[in-house]
Structure 1
Amino acid sequence: MKILIIDDDPSVTDLLRLILAPTLAEIQHACDGEQGSGLVREFKPDIVLLDYMLPGIDGLETTRQIRKITKAPILILSVLDDPLTLAKALDAGADEYLIKPVSRGVLIAQINNLVRRYSEKSVDHSPLKVSWQTALQ
């Protein structure tokens, strides 16, 4: 699994790396939204862990930019415990919003859940379209 962490706080990034180490995930880190959007293109993560309050381009705009690049799940981690903020994040394209601090177990479960849902969506379950002309060839 490839995880991109976008957070300007090195202590949070270090803690997330420590929490995620047992998962054997490949982890990349960006300090701001602009760098994070660039890494999404290069790294092609399976999931993005995004801090809501970033310097420069904020978490909402970063979410919008990432959503233009990929359909990979975006999990926002924030200290803001406000329903309006949560609603704005989800409307911008985030898949989940967790309030810091979050327990290790809940974080890993949410990551696994989002990646599982995303990978299930990548399989095309639509009905086959066969015309009588192609069926006879």
Structure 2
Amino acid sequence: MLSTPPSQAPSPLILVVEDEPGIASILAAYLQRDGLRAQHAADGLEGLRLFRQLRPDLVLLDIHLPGMDGLDLLREIRSHAQTPVIMVTAVADDVDKLLGLRMGADDYVVKPFSPPEVVARVRAVLRRVQPQAAAAPRAAPSIRVGRIEIDQEAHAALVHGDDGQAVALPLTLTEFRLLACLAAQPRRCFSRSHLIDHCLPESDALDRVIDSHLSKLRRKLQQAGQGDLIETVRGIGYRFWPGGGPGAAGSGG
């Protein structure tokens, strides 16, 4: 195990699941130098055990691992928790990246990488999960559109039924941010670049990454009986259209 320096208050814990000891040691050293705690798992099965035991604040997860590969471990994590996950891959091909993102990863980095860049990505994702209170904190308003309620303080998206009961949507961090951004201004069309800037800050995500996140968000809304609330506007981007879009703008990626 990689040791962590003592601190007055617990700092975020990062679980590094990486089978190359040299890379794991470098990542842990840079994370600790930035004031974060780090634990190391050398394979997927150990990663799953430590994830369940430690409940880390974020997972840095290599895709190619012995025992259980990173995508299988990501699938297992997502079946129980919405803990932020940054995928690490040695393959520059977009296929691995997009597959991880479709399964719920929050970001990715490609080897060889700059350790300070990885730390910056970790900090960016943690800021989205654990936003710092402002000097004069003000409660973020809830958004209610039709049956959808987005509680920004509780970071929960709910679907209200006819019986008055509410069911929580199992959204990842990025999916929640996209839904909140779109639903805050119904019928406004947002470009892909705007959504990347506001929902994946400090990420070098491509347009197709936003398409992947929104496709998964649409599917979860449909599974909750909410139809096609998110409409694709060809050549421009996306908009949230309560009650279903007019259909004039078309559909598809």
TM-score (normalizing by structure 2):
0.47
Supply the distance in 2 between the matched residues of 1:66 and 1:100 (Cα, whole angstroms).
Answer: 23
Total equivalences in the alignment: 126
Work out the percentage of aligned pairs sharing the same amino acid.
34
Residue aligning to 2:14: 3
Moved over 2 A (4+): 119-123
Residue aligning to 1:130: none
- Greater relative contact order (CA < 8 Å, ≥ 6 in sequence): 1
Higher helix share: 1
Supply the distance in 2 between the matched residues of 1:102 and 1:122 (Cα, whole angstroms).
Answer: 34
| Consecutive unaligned residues in structure 2, runs of 5 or more | 1-11, 132-150, 157-253
Residue aligning to 1:70: 81
Residue aligning to 1:80: 91
Residue aligning to 1:129: none
Residue aligning to 2:43: 32
- CA RMSD of superposed structures (Å): 1.9
1:69, distance to aligned residue in structure 2 (A): 2.7
Residues 1-137 of structure 1 correspond to what in structure 2 (within 5 A)?
A: 1-120=12-131, 123-124=153-154
Contact 1:50 1:75 in 2 (8 A): yes
1:25, distance to aligned residue in structure 2 (A): 1.7
1:26, distance to aligned residue in structure 2 (A): 1.8
Contact 2:88 2:111 in 1 (8 A): yes
| Consecutive unaligned residues in structure 1, runs of 5 or more | 127-137
Contact 1:6 1:30 in 2 (8 A): yes
TM-score (normalizing by structure 1):
0.83
3-state SS of 2:79 partner: helix
Counterpart code for 1:124: A
